[in-house]
Structure 1
Amino acid sequence: MSTPHLDALQRDGFVVVPNLLSPSEISHYRSIATKATTKTRSGGWPHFRTVPKQFPPWPTTPPPASEGGIWGVQHLMHPDMEDRQSFAKCYFSDSILKVVEELLGVKDAGPDEPLVMELFNLLVAPETKDFELRWHRDDIPETATAEEEVAQLAAKSPGGKQSHAQYNLALCPDASLIVVPGSHRRARTDAERNAEPYAPSLPNQLIVQLQPGDAVFYDSNILHRGVYKGKEEGGEETRLTLHGSFGLKAVGEGDDEKKKVRATAVLQHGVGAWVHREDASFGIGERPEKMRANLVAMGTGEGIGYSLQG
Structure 2
Amino acid sequence: MTTPANPTPHLSALQRDGFVVIPSLLTSEEITHFRTIATAATTLTRAGQWPHFRTVPKQFPPWPTTPPPASEGGIWGVQHLLHPEMPGRTEFARFYFSAKVLAVVEELLGVDAEKIAQGGGEEPLLMELFNLLVAPETKDFELRWHRDDIQETVTPEEELRLLQARSPQGRQSHAQYNLALCPDESLIVVPGSHRRVRTEVERNADPYEAELPGQLVVKLQPGDAVFYDSNILHRGVYKAKAEGAEETRLTLHGCLGLNALASAGNEDKKVRATAILQHGVGAWVHRDDAAFGIGERPEKMRANLVAMGTGEGVGYSLQG
TM range (shorter): over 0.9
* d(CA) in 1 for partners of 2:181, 2:265: 40
Matches within 5 A, 1:97-246: 97-107=102-112, 108-109=115-116, 110-246=120-256
* d(CA) in 1 for partners of 2:263, 2:130: 22
One-letter amino acid of the counterpart of residue 95, structure 1: K
Question: Contact (CA 8 Å) 1:166, 1:246: kept in 2 or not?
Answer: yes
* d(CA) in 1 for partners of 2:204, 2:242: 35
Question: Contact (CA 8 Å) 1:252, 1:258: kept in 2 or not?
Answer: no
Q: How many residues align?
A: 309
* d(CA) in 1 for partners of 2:269, 2:209: 33
Q: Secondary structure at the match of 1:297?
A: helix
Q: Secondary structure at the match of 1:46?
A: coil
* d(CA) in 2 for partners of 1:29, 1:159: 36
Shift of 1:162: 2.0
Aligned to 2:50: 45
The reply to whether residue 83 of structure 1 matches residue 77 of structure 2 is no
* d(CA) in 1 for partners of 2:33, 2:240: 24
Q: Which moved more, 1:242-251 or 1:92-101?
A: 242-251
Aligned-pair Cα RMSD in Å: 1.1
Output one character per residue of 1:228-271: Cα deviation in whole Å (capped at 9) or x when no partner: 0000000000000000000111454268x811000000000000
Aligned to 1:25: 30
Aligned to 2:3: none
Question: Contact (CA 8 Å) 2:124, 2:262: kept in 1 or not?
Answer: no
One-letter amino acid of the counterpart of residue 253, structure 1: A
Aligned to 1:274: 284
Shift of 1:32: 0.3
TM-score, with structure 1 as normaliser: 0.98
Aligned to 1:253: 264
Task: Give runs of ≥4 in structure 1 deviating > 4 Å.
Answer: none
One-letter amino acid of the counterpart of residue 95, structure 2: C
Output one character per residue of 1:4-49: Cα deviation in whole Å (capped at 9) or x when no partner: 0000000000000011101111001000000000000000000000
* Consecutive unaligned residues in structure 2, runs of 5 or more: 1-5
Shift of 1:159: 1.3
Shift of 1:82: 1.2
* d(CA) in 2 for partners of 1:309, 1:138: 11
One-letter amino acid of the counterpart of residue 264, structure 2: E
Structure 1 124/102 Cα, relative in aligned 2: closer, same or farther at 3 Å?
A: same
* d(CA) in 1 for partners of 2:134, 2:206: 25
Aligned to 2:7: 2
TM-score, with structure 2 as normaliser: 0.95
* d(CA) in 1 for partners of 2:269, 2:172: 14
* d(CA) in 2 for partners of 1:39, 1:161: 37
Aligned to 2:312: 302
* d(CA) in 2 for partners of 1:111, 1:82: 34
Output one character per residue of 1:78-131: Cα deviation in whole Å (capped at 9) or x when no partner: 000011000000100111111000000011333410000000000000000100
% identity of equivalent residues: 77
